[in-house]
Structure 1
Amino acid sequence: MHDEVDRIVEAWERERPDLDVTPLTVLSRVSRLSRHLDLARRAVFARHGLETWEFDVLSALRRAGAPYRLSPGALLTQTLVTSGTMTNRIDRLTQRGFVSRLPSPDDRRGVLVELADLGRTRVDGALADLLDEERTLLAGLPDEDRIRLADLLRSVVAPFDAH
């Protein structure tokens, strides 16, 4: 089986035989897979009336467990955006009725963001459909290969997450 990355690597090997292009054999495939996954996710989220960033914030709150509340700082950590961006996102999610702001019981100046019933329903539906779509994307891999791939990717990604 040949893919577009094989053609790219072969062309670079022909044109630049002085360079070791083997990193492309892995990372170009990861990049291409990321693009396909991004398109699939956007389509799933759109069917649920969500943007990718909305799903990210709502799912962080949902994963927090009942009562589905997090500080804006905790949301920053989980979604890797700036505080200004997060403030804007919380404002927009509040306007859509997906979340609400509550005063923090620990800090008079602080707030907590709480997942509203509408947000929970929306993120739960989107997650179920997303998992179906992702299963389809991985359908060509036997279970043991999926586990091995997940382990290999973890060993590449973990050092970045540690920072």
Structure 2
Amino acid sequence: MALHIVKLCVGCDSIEDLAAWIDFRLEEKRAAGELPEQFHTTRMVPKRVDEILDGGSLYWVIKGNIQCRQRLLDIRPFTDSEGIHRCHLVLEPKLVPTLWQPRRAFQGWRYLKPEEAPADEANGGKGRAALPAELRQELAALGLL
């Protein structure tokens, strides 16, 4: 059974905002002649790589709620130019909206057990994805989503 990772999406206000950022970065890489793959750099390297790469996803916390996920394709440890060990979490660039699940702020990333992960929006969202991002956020703040 796949293990997941949950991480704060700092600087994004909505899934649409994250999607636009991903598209922008991939286009930058294409224009520079680089491989257009998306990755997120993190300092801590997961120890449970085999479980994560067995179908795991990175769940993004946006504005206090898990709102979407991206499938993890690879985990690549490396040492940066300052000698600090880091890793690239290589992600499928497709965002999958999920049912919203509140999360308090935390640093870094955390493992997320499959039974604790929110379901995909398509598997029970009942049209929430069609609501504007601002309205979804306001309804979630009121505890209605």
TM-score (norm 1): 0.30
Work out which of the two has the higher radius of gyration on C-alpha atoms and give 1 or 2.
1
Question: Which structure has the higher relative contact order (CA within 8 Å, separation 6+)?
Answer: 2
Write 1 or 2 for the structure with the bigger share of helix. Answer: 1
